[in-house]
Amino acid sequence: CSEAELIRRTEAISAVLPVCGFYLQPSVGGRRLSFAFWRELAELPGVKAIKIAPFNRYQTLDVVRAVCESSRRDDIALYTGNDDNIVADLLTVYQCRTAAGEMVEKRIVGGLLGHWAVWTSKAVELLEEIIALRESGAPIPSELLTRGIRITDANAAFFDAANGFKGCLPGIHEVLRRQGLLAGRWCLDPEEELSPGQIEEIDRVYRAYPDLNDDPFVQAGLQQWLGQ
Q: Please, are residues 104 and 111 in contact by the beta-carbon 8 Å criterion?
A: no
Confidence check: pLDDT of 28 > 90: no
Full set of structural domains in the chain with CATH: 1-112 (3.20.20.70), 120-214 (no CATH)
pLDDT (0 to 100) of residue 171? 98
Residue 226 CB neighbour total at 10 angstroms: 9
Q: What is the pLDDT of residues 71-93, one digit of tens each?
A: 999 999 999 999 999 999 999 99
Kindly report, residue by residue over 119-175, the tens digit of the pLDDT. 999 999 999 999 999 999 999 999 999 999 999 999 999 999 999 999 999 999 999
CA angle 197, 199, 203 (to 5 degrees): 115
Asked whether the predicted pLDDT for residue 178 surpasses 80, the reply is yes
- Measured distance CA(176)–CA(144) in Å, rounded: 25
Q: If we measure between CA atoms, which residue out of 102, 226, 205, 100 comes closest to residue 155? A: 205
pLDDT, tens digit, 9 for 90 and up, residues 1-27: 899 999 999 999 999 999 999 999 988
Q: Give the C-alpha separation, 62 to 94, whole Å.
A: 12
| pTM (2 d.p.) | 0.92
**What is residue 99's DSSP assignment?**
T
